[in-house]
Amino acid sequence: MTSAATTTTQLMTINMGPQHPSTHGVLRLLLELDGEVIVKAVPHVGFLHRGVEKLAEYRTYHQCIPLTDRLDYVAPFSNNLAYALTVEKLLGIEAPERAQHIRVLLCELTRIASHLLWLATHALDIGAMTVFFYCFREREAIYDIFELVAGARMHTSYIRVGGVSRELPGGFTEKVHKFVMEFPARLNEYETLLTENPIWKKRTVGVGIISAEDAIDYGLSGPSLRGSGVNWDIRKAEPYSQYDKYHFTVPLGKNGDVYDRYRIRIEEMHQSNRIVHQALNILPKGDCLARIPNVTLPPKEDVETNMEAMITHFKLITDGIHPPKGEVYASIEAPKGELGFYLVSDGSSHPYRLKIRPPSFVNLEALPKMVEGRLLPDVVATIGSLDIVLGEIDR
Amino acid sequence: MKNEDLAALIKTRFPEAIVGANIFRNELTLTVQKDTLAEVARFLKENEDLDFDFLSDLCGVDRAETDDVFEVVYHLYSLSKNHRLRLKAPVPSDAPSLPTVTGVWKTANWHERETYDMFGITFHGHPDLRKILTPDDFEGHPLRKDYPLDGRQPATLRDSYRKGGE
């Protein structure tokens, strides 16, 4: 036996993911631990890489829309909208007013659905299971509306270049109205489960802090940036799709911790609900798809009766749009932050280059900054508070 | 600030480094000489009238077939001034390399890794230039135009992917 017991400390490296429920998909974190304290965290991404940007170069401009559904697959309308706005900017066209308001309405419902999924899983990660079931009830109601509108629950491909694919179906207004009326009370109910809950606060207050300067430096956007008190919302700063006609406030945090980001998303759901309500009242009459030769498909009735319309339809489907040479960047305030598309056109029917700027990719980059020096369980809370979706990180 | 004023201000400061300016769809694009890139970037961020504190995006574009260059494209935004700017730095396609901007905007770290992964463009001075999206044993840079859509991995690797990596 040795006389003096010599204690040696040794760092332990553990793998969290890629198959781990609280990494929200196939994220792998390589954690170096000193006891329970994180010394170093290195995220590994790319497990879901499908080469979306490469695929887009081999498709016509319209064929890229389904690819965008599969980026942030819990917010398909936002992805469709960002892409459509980019192509519209390149072409120098605008969707009819009615279509723009339909887009706002659906995108705000999407924000609610996306935030509900975030709240459900974030709470589940930290151990509050009840919230999960409640949130999925409401999310289901929204997905029913999506199914009614687009025929699909998740991969909607409803927003098209120049407008939306078809008119809103009968029963839509009533269904949305019912949801809008019920939702605020439901949301308050969730808040009673969490907002002042001491366990919830112990797990979230002062955890995963990032200062405003760091948040900007790391390129954070969306609720993750506003949690640090930076007032930047693209809907207000560079209004698109008639957002300047809507009244809503942008909630801001103070401390940049998990709890602030939680409060912000809850308040954003209230605000989105307000916007949906306003949109229902504003919704003007008119076309839901612009009639622009060589860009948008002619109405189906015309295709069946009119020779020119049929030829146009055939040409657009087989050959596609030919935008002018040039390059544009357009971005929107997606549920997770700034979702941007950079499109380079060489005048042919395929994009020469399509770069996607996914908010989750950039937000995840700041994770090590938020968790290093903190305890292991804080990692789970912090990942949840960033609201990442690997579909758009890996593309 | 208007696009024209932005362009004028930057061009006055760097008459030689800025080799081209273009406005399309109300978006300003400046082409910058790659060796002065880090200097220009720092100026854009630190000048009070410009205040480009937010790097929205950074990516590559393959123009090897027509111009023998890869373009590295920076999308900048100013939170306080609410204006945007696109900065382009062409690098020769046979030796694609340019200085990093990670010292100016921390967010550039992952973007540059992605550009390195997809195009094989190296950023000297980058603290940790590793591949980010493709697997470690993946060969080639998939977003280059000469890379085929259906891939060209060694048969063994492709087979192992198909079988689920036995």
pLDDT at B155: 64
**Scanning the structure block, which residue is given the tokens 């007032």?**
A231
Domain edges within chain A: 50-394
Residue of B nearest to A87 (CA): B25
Q: Which residues of B touch A328 (CB under 8 A)?
A: 24-25, 27
B62-66, Cβ contacts within 8 angstroms, sequence gap of 24 or more: B62/A353, B62/B93, B62/B119, B62/B143, B62/B144, B62/B145, B63/B90, B63/B93, B64/B93, B64/B144, B64/B145, B64/B146, B65/B145
Q: What is the dihedral angle through the alpha carbons of A84, A224, A389, A199, rounded to the nearest 10 degrees?
A: -150
Q: Which CATH class is domain B3-135?
A: alpha beta
Alpha-carbon distance B138 to nearest alpha carbon in chain A (angstroms): 12
Q: Which CATH code of 1.10.3720.10, 1.10.10.10, 1.10.645.10, 1.10.150.530 fits the domain covering A50-394?
A: 1.10.645.10
Q: How far apart are the two ends of chain B, measured CA to CA in Å?
A: 58
What residue ranges in B27-151 does DSSP mark as E strands? 27-32, 54-63, 69-77, 84-92, 97-99, 122-124
Across the interface, whether the CB atoms of A328 and B24 are under 8 A apart is answered yes
pLDDT at B16: 83
- Residue A190's alpha-carbon distances to A122, A129, A138, A143, B112, in angstroms, are 13, 12, 11, 19, 41
Give the whole-angstrom CA distance, residue A240 versus residue A242.
6
What's the pTM value of the predicted model, to 2 decimals? Answer: 0.90
Alpha-carbon distance A306 to nearest alpha carbon in chain B (angstroms): 35
Give the whole-angstrom CA distance, residue A9 versus residue A249.
51
pLDDT at A1: 47
Tokens of A234: 């693209």
> What percentage of chain B exceeds 70 in pLDDT?
92
Q: Which of residues 89-148 of B touch A (CB under 8 A)?
A: 105-107, 109-111, 118, 131-135, 142-143, 147
Span A287-320, pLDDT tens digits: 888 888 888 888 888 888 888 888 888 888 888 8
Span A174-209, pLDDT tens digits: 999 999 999 999 999 888 888 888 888 888 998 989
pLDDT at A231: 92
One-letter amino acid identity for A172?
A: F
- Work out the pLDDT band at A23, boundaries 50, 70, 90: confident
Q: How far apart are the two ends of chain A, measured CA to CA in Å?
A: 58
One-letter amino acid identity for A25?
A: G
Residue of A nearest to B45 (CA): A217
Mean pLDDT of chain A: 89
Model ipTM value = 0.87
* b/e A238-276 (16+ beta carbons within 10 angstroms → b): bebbbbeebebebbbbebbbbbbbbbbbbbbbbbbbbbb
- Work out the pLDDT band at A351, boundaries 50, 70, 90: very high
pLDDT at A226: 92
Instruction: Kindly give the pairing relationship between strand B27-32 and strand B84-92.
Output: parallel
pLDDT at B163: 63
Across the interface, whether the CB atoms of B57 and A218 are under 8 A apart is answered no
Residue of B nearest to A369 (CA): B106
- Does the pLDDT at position A170 exceed 90? no
- Work out the pLDDT band at A372, boundaries 50, 70, 90: confident
Q: Report CA A13 to chain centroid distance, whole Å.
A: 32
- Does the pLDDT at position A25 exceed 50? yes
- Chain A residue set in contact with B, beta carbons under 8 Å: 45-46, 49, 51, 53-55, 58, 89-90, 92, 214, 216-219, 230, 232, 237-238, 326-329, 331, 338, 340, 342, 344, 352-353, 355, 357, 361-362, 365, 394-395
> What percentage of chain A exceeds 70 in pLDDT?
99
- Does the pLDDT at position A168 exceed 80? yes
Q: Is B84 on the interface with A (CB under 8 A)?
A: yes
pLDDT at A4: 58
Higher-confidence position of B48 and B54: B54
Residues 6+ positions from A187 with CB-CB distance below 8 Å:
A266, A269, A270, A273
Residue of B nearest to A331 (CA): B56
Cβ proximity of A242 and A355 under 8 Å: no
Q: Which residues of A touch B61 (CB under 8 A)?
A: 344, 352-353
Alpha-carbon distance B56 to nearest alpha carbon in chain A (angstroms): 7
Q: Which residues of A touch B132 (CB under 8 A)?
A: 45-46
pLDDT at A110: 93
Alpha-carbon distance A299 to nearest alpha carbon in chain B (angstroms): 29
Q: Is B24 on the interface with A (CB under 8 A)?
A: yes
Span B108-131, pLDDT tens digits: 999 999 999 999 999 988 998 898
Out of B25, B73, B75, closest to residue A326 by CB: B25
Span A26-56, pLDDT tens digits: 888 889 988 889 999 999 998 889 889 999 9
Q: Which residues of B touch A342 (CB under 8 A)?
A: 57, 59, 73, 75
Span B6-44, pLDDT tens digits: 888 888 888 888 888 888 888 999 999 888 888 899 999
- Does the pLDDT at position A260 exceed 50? yes
**CA angle, corner A366, sides to A362 and A367, nearest 5?**
115
